[in-house]
């Protein structure tokens, strides 16, 4: 962790463009990875996310 911190500080100071690229890539990779994991978990629990009209027509929904 210490090494990563040091590398980020150096990159931030010395190569702003690369720091921008690393920021976007990190966010995209973590985002896609987490989305895939969450998708698998929802599949395991059998959640499909289908619109249930009868449920929606109940009062309060």
Partner 1 sequence: MELPLLGQIYLPISGVEIMGWKLILLGFTVGVIGGFFGIGGAFIVTPALNVFGFPMVYAIGTDMAQMAGKSIIATAKHSKFGNVDMKLGLIMIIGTVIGIELGATVIMCLENVGNADVDVVVRYVYMVLLFSLSGYMLYEYFKLTKEGAVENKTIFDVGKSALALKMQSIKLPPMVNLTVSGFTISIWVILSVATITGFVAGFLGVGGGFLRVPALIYVIGSPTRVAIGTDLFEIMISGAYGAFTYGIKGRVEIIAAVIMLIGASVGTQFGTLATQYVKGLKIRLYFAITMALAGVSVVLKTIAGIYKNIYSSDLNAWVKVQPQFLEWAQTEGIKLTTKVQVRDWILMNKEAVKGWFAQQSDLIQQTRVMETAWTNYSGYLMLGTAYALSGLIIIRMLQGINAERRRCIMP
- Smallest distance, Å, CB 4 to partner 1? 8
Q: Which parts of 6-45 interact with partner 1 (CB under 8 A)?
A: 6, 8-9, 12-13, 16-17, 19-24, 26-28, 30-32, 34-35, 37-38, 42
The owner of tokens 């009062």 is: 59
12 burial via Cβ count (<10 Å: 0-12, 13-18, 19+): middle
What is the CA 59 to chain-centroid distance, rounded? Answer: 34
Binding site for partner 1 (CB under 8 A): 4-6, 8-9, 12-13, 16-17, 19-24, 26-28, 30-32, 34-35, 37-38, 42, 46-57, 61
């Amino acid at each position: 962790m210490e090494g990563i911190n040091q590398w980020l500080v150096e990159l931030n100071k010395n190569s702003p463009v690369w720091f921008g690229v690393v920021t976007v890539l990190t966010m995209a990779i973590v985002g896609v990875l987490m989305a895939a994991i969450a998708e698998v978990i929802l599949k395991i629990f059998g959640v499909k996310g289908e619109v249930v009209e009868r449920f929606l027509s109940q009062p309060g929904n």
